[in-house]
Structure 1
Amino acid sequence: MYLEISNPMDYHVGLYIRLSKEDENEGPSESVNNQRSMLEEFVKQHRLSVFDTYVDDGWSGTNYDRPDFQRLIADIEAKKVNMVITKDLSRLGRDYILTGHYMERYFPEHRVRYISLLDGIDTGVDSTANDITPFRAIMNDMYAKDISKKIASVKHDKQRKGLFIGGKPVYGYKMHPTEKNKIVIDEAAAPVVRRIFGMALSGMSCRQIATRLNEEHVPTPATYAGLPVGKPGPYTGLWSSERISDMLQNETYIGNMVQGRSRKINYKTKKCIRQQPKDWVVVVGTHEPLIDRETFDKVRRLVDSRRHTRSRTYDFLLKGLIFCHECGYPLAVLNRKNAKGEDVLYFVCRTYQRFTKAGACTCHSIKEQVVTQAVVERVREVCRNYLQAEKLLPIAKQEIVKAQAEADHEKEIAALKAKIDSLSAHLDQVYLDKLSGLLDEADFQRVYQKVKGDRAALEQRLSQIDRPDFSPERQNDLAKELVERFLATAPTNREVLVSLIERVELTEEKEVILHFRFRELEQKG
């Protein structure tokens, strides 16, 4: 698989092992032992000297703040390690942008040779396996993204049913003491909520209400809940007008379950972005209201009357990637009507836009569609040079097998069967209690119907679990489908563009210059 390492004494090896976060409950997993055994066998075979072994057990590949990975980087910086070996590329990481950064920039700049055993990647030799590494990293993500969508759909289904799936209920409510996914009024915080609505109804602004609460040293929702503060600032522990405004418009207080107000950017990061109200999941009448509907509507109208109109923003494929070649600043996008009255987006230099009279830079005005088409054609050319279905098919098969192995439903099935058996035993005991006179007829019917209903719900869930098809034919079909979809959408896929392109520059003469994240694409593309 590899050329012989002719000078093993020149290398100080760091063996890196990572166990996926999905398997972190497995304890000291065989996965770690298998990786260690494979890496040590390779080292022994090639007579290499190991400086240290770095193990991140239970850490996601999308998180590069792993403790032992950072320790490895520190040893590289200290020139203690100049060769890194992993079982496969996904052990290094599953974020294709950062994986490319380490492979194509960081390791070469620090004279570190990187070897991935199962993928056949060795940056110390020239091979075709190295050439398609950028696309291998992207393919490595695609199937994982599909799995994350399925998990998100399950959570969304619970939200649509009005079940609370968050960490902490909104201020003024708490979790039900016995029923899961249900909230009840928190009598300790409820008077503060009612008072806030009362002050708003009297005509006080959100800022005035926040000032009054701060003067009276009323604990904020975060302080009341005992939530930890990451970076304390001068306004930590104080009410804000934004917090008051958010509360006054939250339909949770009138008995409606409001969820999906924010969502994670993607499965690789914990950072969340706020959703538009039209995208929230609202289920009416799921719990006891704190505020009556009439008061809530009056307060909302008062808050809306003070709101200012915000400027419109536009979405386009090259957002965040397009820059002025002359001044280096991001280009702005403007909307102009054409002769037919249709909206047309134009790129213009932001520096010129702000300092026109000073003669700073030039306009650079050009249709967004023209620049986007030029970039797409350039990326399509790169894809034609590097991507062949027959080369991507084995990678797709490998990732599908890994994903299917991680999507094991057997544990959930076993847990459901155990619960069903337990409820059946409970029904038998209830019937015996009735016969022995411990339960009267009314209590028997109440308990019997509830337990029977719970068991029926679990049996329905058991019948709905999809058992994955692990047959070779199905795996091959999925792999072909994944490759075809990737090849068809790659040039216009936002993720592919961001992963391949570092920045796009537009010159004064309307020339489009692409700077790729991977140097070999600039040289060979």
Structure 2
Amino acid sequence: MYLEISNPVDYHAGLYIRLSKEDEREGQSESVTNQLSLLTAFAKEHKLCVFDTYIDDGWSGTNFDRPAFQRMIADIEAKKVNMVITKDLSRLGRDYIMTGHYMERYFPENRVRYISLLDGIDTGIESTANDITPFRAIMNDMYAKDISKKIKSVKHDKQRKGLFIGGKPLYGYKMAEEKNKIVIDEEAAPMVRRIFDMALEGLSCRQIAARLNEEKVPTPAIYAGLNQGRTGPYAGMWYSERISDMLQNETYIGNMVQGRSKKINYKSKKCVRQPRENWIVVEGTHEPLIGRDAFDKVQQLLGSRKTTRSRTYDFLLKGLIYCHECGYPLAVINRPNARGEDCLYFVCRTYQRFTKAGVCTCHSIKEQTVTQAVIEKAREVCENYVRTEELLPAAEKAVEEANQASSQEKEAATLKAKIESLTAHLERMYMDRLSGILEERDFERIYQRGKQERSALEQKLSGLEAPTYESEKQKKLARELVNRFVDGAWSNREVLVSLIERVELTEDKQIIIHFRFRQLEAFS
């Protein structure tokens, strides 16, 4: 290390230390104790004032949402720290994009000097080590990617052997004393059996969820003490999708089911659900909680109801209409009106799921009523911005161009036909001259006249210009086009989606329109 700090009194240093489970395999040199000793010795040698030491123990370098790292960033924002020191660049992070962001943008913009001891990186001086920093970051990223592949391979191998590798077992089971094994949780198992019994009695998933909510039965997440990570009407509630998922899970008949979702990549925490054919299912790995016969009967009952939920409806406000009270999208259902005609109605989805829980209200209203009100309000609000006179010039130009193009095409076709006819006529005269039917003197006279006429037609074709049309007729057509556009624009889904961000329906049937342009906010 040849780093020198000429003005140590100007700095308040933050010593940053990170250790992940993968780094522990590298030996004692990567330990927290070793890193702390190295950084402390450097600060003491160069007479630096250390503001604080930040330690993230057990955190991956691909994740920058580490608690100590974020605390250090907060101190930088508060101007308490203007120097960051790490053992090497990989301690800062292994994601080359984010590492580059902090190295090349964040630290310089906040006037923070960054020092990596073993790499010889010091952003406070000009150095060749600084120039190759991006390549070091990429190498650290590749290391993280390689480690991720190895870990994923080990996990998949365990899954294929029927070993449980998840954090929390399925509701009704708990971790066994033997590693990677699960056993029945006698405290939660009766509730699982009761849910299957209710399904066998003919209750729908929605009815089962409503009964559990009415009895205030804790959900699997609450029972397991998990942080639900969200608030709202669904938080802490049973709902039909949760029940349906449980009733179809083969884990309850003794089969280990894993791989139902996976992370997008080693840098992202987001998981995506996998199709059923990609799940890893190993039979007979643990004690079943539900008998096979009962499980199969429940599947038949669930399958018999699928056709009733497969119908969908298209309507103008699809994807735009929400409940004002709970914030969730409104559902649309088909009900006969007083005359027996089928009509679409908006209803609150939260109310549908938790009717007896009193979480929200029905909000029932005809789809046609809401749609017409939104169209009228959009027309009313936007009238100040859509003026017929301002649209006329563009319409007139479009009409003129269309007429011009149509006229030119017709005249060009006529000219080309005449040119082709003249060319064929000249060719016939030439053959007549060769065969002696036409004398030389007559041939020259007729041939020259034909060539001149063809040349004139070709010149006219090349410089073709459209004839002028009656301006009054053209203006009338343009105005008709503008009026037709203004009258029909508000019932055009493409126009509405481009104007409206969302439409909210309140409990007392008030319609609130949130336009994409905030100055157009409207109520109905």
TM-score by length of 1: 0.52
2:270 counterpart of 1:251: no
Q: For residues 316-352 of structure 1, what are the alpha-carbon distances to aligned partners after superposition, in whole Å with 9 as ceiling and x for unaligned?
A: xxxxxxxxxxxxxxxxxxxxxxxxxxxxxxxxxxxxx
Query: Residue 167 and residue 87 in structure 1: after superposition, are their counterparts in 2 closer, same or farther (change >3 A)?
Result: closer
d(CA) in 1 for partners of 2:50, 2:178: 54
Matched, 1:282 2:269: no
Matches within 5 A, 1:42-53: 42-43=42-43, 46-53=46-53
Structure 1 range deviating more: 79-88 or 55-64: 55-64
Percent identity, aligned pairs only, is 76
Task: Name the SS for the 2:241 alignment partner.
Answer: helix
| 1:259–1:282 contact (8 Å) kept in structure 2 | yes
* TM-fit CA distance, 1:250: 1.0
CA distance in 2, matches of 1:284, 1:218: 30
C-alpha deviations, 1:111-160, integer Å up to 9, x for none?
11112122232222344433443342222021232223222222222221
Partner of 1:206: 205
Shift of 1:99: 1.8
Question: How far did 1:301 drift?
Answer: 1.6
Q: Which of residues 295, 302, 306 is equivalent to 2:297?
A: 295
**Does residue 272 in structure 1 map to residue 271 in structure 2?**
yes
Quote how far apart the aligned CAs of 1:169 are: 2.8
Paired positions, count: 318
List aligned pairs for 1:402-417, cutoff 5 A. none
Q: What is residue 218 of structure 1 aligned with on the other side?
A: 217
Verify: 1:70 aligned to 2:53, yes or no.
no
Structure 2 residue aligned with 1:313? none
Structure 2: segments with no counterpart, 5+ residues: 313-491, 500-524
How big is each residue's C-alpha offset from its partner over 1:263-296, in whole Å with a ceiling of 9 and x where there is no partner? 3344455543322212111012333440324314
Amino acid across the alignment from 2:299: D
TM-aligned CA distance change 1:60 to 1:237, over 3 Å: same
Q: Distance in 2 between matches of 1:196 and 1:81?
A: 56
The 3-state SS of whatever aligns with 1:84 is: strand
Superposition deviation, residue 76 in structure 1: 1.8
Q: Match of 1:245, as an amino acid?
A: S
Counterpart in 2 of 1:170? 170
The AA in structure 2 aligned to 1:295 is K
Structure 1 residue 90: Cα displacement = 0.9
Question: Which position in structure 2 is the counterpart of 1:34?
Answer: 34
- Structure 1 residue 89 displacement after superposition: 0.7
d(CA) in 2 for partners of 1:110 and 1:199?
61
Aligned-partner residue type, residue 273 of structure 2: R
- Deviation at residue 163 of structure 1 after TM alignment: 2.5
Runs of 5+ unmatched residues, structure 1: 311-353, 362-525
Residue of structure 2 equivalent to 1:419? none
Counterparts of 1:359 and 1:243, CA distance in 2: 32
1:45-87 CA distance string (max 9 Å, x none)? 5554444443334443334344433332233222222222222
- Could you tell me which residue of structure 2 aligns to residue 119 of structure 1? 119
Q: Distance in 1 between matches of 2:9 and 2:192?
A: 70
C-alpha distance in structure 2 between counterparts of 1:13 and 1:179, whole Å: 47
SS in 1 for 2:31: helix
Could you tell me which amino acid in structure 1 is paired with residue 13 of structure 2? Answer: V
Task: Map 1:368-407 to 2 at 5 A.
Answer: none
Instruction: Report the structure number with the largest CA radius of gyration.
Output: 2
2:92 is matched with 92
What amino acid maps onto 1:297 in structure 2? Q
Does structure 2 conserve the Cα–Cα contact (< 8 Å) formed by 1:201 and 1:298?
no
Q: What's 1:110 paired with? A: 110
Report the Cα distance in structure 2 between the residues aligned to 1:183 and 1:13, rounded to whole angstroms: 48
CA contact (8 A) 1:248 1:299 kept: no
Counterpart for residue 20 of structure 1: 20
The answer on whether the counterparts of 1:93 and 1:99 sit within 8 Å (CA) in structure 2 is yes
Q: Cα gap change, 1:303/1:292 in structure 2, threshold over 3 Å: closer, same or farther?
A: farther
Contact 1:172 1:193 (8 Å CA) reproduced: yes
SS in 2 for 1:273: strand
Aligned residues: CA RMSD: 3.7
Distance 2:67 2:497 in 1: 50
Residue 208 of structure 2 aligns with an amino acid whose one-letter code is: I
**Secondary structure, in 3 states, of the residue corresponding to 1:165?**
coil
Instruction: Give the 3-state SS of the residue equivalent to 1:54 in structure 2.
Output: strand
User: For each residue in 1:338-385, what CA deviation from the matched residue of structure 2 results, as whole angstroms up to 9, or x when unmatched?
Assistant: xxxxxxxxxxxxxxxx97548969xxxxxxxxxxxxxxxxxxxxxxxx
CA distance in 2, matches of 1:123, 1:131: 10
Aligned to 2:316: none
Distance 1:80 1:179 in 2: 49
Structure 1 30/358 Cα, relative in aligned 2: closer, same or farther at 3 Å?
A: closer
Tell me if structure 1 keeps the 8 A contact 2:18–2:92.
yes
Q: Secondary structure at the match of 2:169?
A: coil
Distance apart, 1:242 and its partner CA: 1.2
Compare relative contact order (CA 8 Å, sep 6+) and give the higher one, 1 or 2.
1
Name 2:260's counterpart in structure 1.
261
Query: Could you tell me how far apart the structure 2 residues matched to 1:27 and 1:127 are?
Result: 30
- 2:46, 2:220 → 1: CA distance? 60
| Mapped partners of 1:11, 1:5: distance in 2 | 10
